[in-house]
Amino acid sequence: ARMSAPDTTSPDVYSRSGLQSILGLSEKKEDAEEKASEPNEDEEQEKDMTTEQMESAMTELEDKDDVQALRGARKEAAEELKEFDETVEIKKEEGDDEDLEPKNESDREKDEKAEREALEKEFAAWQTEVGMDNEAIEASLSPVERYGLHLREDVDPFYSLYAVLEYNRKMDEAEEAENEIDIDAIEAEKAEDERRAAMDGDLLVTDLMPEELVRQRNLFQRERARVKASMKRRQMTGENWEIRVDQQHHSSFYYNVDTGEARWDKPPVLLELESFNRASTVGWSMLPSLVNVMSFLEPYPERMKAALVCGQWKKAAFDPSFVRHVYPVEMGAATRSTMHRNHYRSLADALIQ
């Protein structure tokens, strides 16, 4: 038995590992584990030598295409083995767990910046390929993306009260904008048109001298009075009415060039002028039927008695067409200017007529 002093003995001596070290069992076990863990170098060398010898032999015997095909097949087989290798998946999962660890703010900003730059590059490449046409952009999207785009553009008012209120507000603003008349904008546009016409030479613009202002004002007043008088004359004479033909119905109508009025029937002013011209041409012989009846009666006493019936009969009985005017010799020679209708030189001539 191995004896030791109480002062030099440590508590580890009485443990299991301490007893194994005293008996010499730990060293033998460690040597056995090391020998078991060491690979068999001779077997690996033999295996490597056989592989190298096979490859060299294939290279010498086969063509280059066959050698490349063999290497490609070996590479594909190695990649397939990696897919089913659990150690690789464990490493990937460990890497994912490491990514989930909290990062610093600087690292997070760098990642966001890198992601933003990648998205910008991808969008630029996509925009270069598709172009700026809206139809081409919409055609390049997937059905889900296209639905999302239309959903963002056209909001269903049944589940968006804000969209309804916003739509009503825009419609009210559009109606107010249409009804409002901006006088300042109209004046500015008018001034801009005059300036552009003056620059193009379509409008002559000069600065009037003070002594020319009165003369120009008087000239303007005279021209305005002349234009108004001309319009009044055309209105009285009916010259402002023109006969035009409708392109659709090929019917004639009357058009007023001054006021822009159009009518199918003849204007009253033209009817009055036509009646006046007809009466002037026939010498006012177009009398009513009552006057025609009175012409068959004797002047006295039948026509005088008929004048007592009523006012209309009296007017017809004393119509100027029944009057005979006899001019005396003192009036001078019988000329066309003095001898009008029913005017005679002598009583005998008047009775004959």
Q: Does residue 136 form part of some domain?
A: yes
Instruction: Count Cβ neighbours within 10 Å for each residue of 301-314 and write b for 16 or more, e otherwise.
Output: eebeebbeeeeebe
Domain boundary among 286, 318, 342: 286
Are 169 and 222 in a shared domain? no
The set of residues, in sequence order, having a beta carbon less than 8 Å from that of 22 and lying 6+ positions away, is 2, 13
**Among candidate residues 286, 317, 337, the one where a domain is terminated:** 286
Integer Cα distance of 346 and 212 in angstroms: 68
Choose the final residue of a domain: 267, 286, 305. Answer: 286
Q: Is 315 exposed, middle or buried (0-12, 13-18, 19+ CB in 10 A)?
A: middle
Whether the Cβ atoms of residue 312 and residue 292 lie closer than 8 Å to each other: no
pLDDT at residue 205 in the model: 62
Q: Is residue 297 part of a domain?
A: no
In a domain? residue 262? yes
The answer on pLDDT for 12 being more than 70 is: no
By residue range, what is the domain housing residue 29?
A: 1-33
- CA dihedral 298→304→310→314, nearest 10 degrees, is 80
* Domain at 263, CATH number: 2.20.70
* 249 or 287, which is more confident: 249
pLDDT reading at 246 higher than 90: no
Domain assignment present for 269: yes
pLDDT for position 313: 78
> What is the distance between the alpha carbons of residues 112 and 120, in angstroms, rounded to a whole number?
12
pTM over 0.75: no
Look at residue 2 and tell me if it is in a domain: yes
**pLDDT at 300 > cutoff 60:** yes
What tokens were used for 202? Answer: 């379509």
Task: Give tens-digit pLDDT for 23-66.
Answer: 665 555 555 555 555 555 554 444 445 666 666 665 666 667 77
Nearest to 324 by CA among 351, 299, 291, 302: 351
Q: How many structural domains compose the chain?
A: 3
Starting at the edge strand found earlier in the chain, the sheet holding 252-256 runs: 241-245, 252-256, 262-263
- Domain assignment present for residue 299? The answer is no
| Residues 281 and 217 placed together within one structural domain of the fold | yes
Tell me whether residue 106 is in a domain.
no
Least confident of 241-250, 263-272, 303-312: 303-312
- The closest alpha carbon to 325, from 313, 343, 346, 339, belongs to 343
Q: What is the pLDDT of residue 40?
A: 53
Does residue 315 lie within any of the structural domains? Answer: no
Residue 2 parent element (H or E): none
Please give the span between the terminal C-alpha atoms of the chain, in angstroms, as a whole number: 195
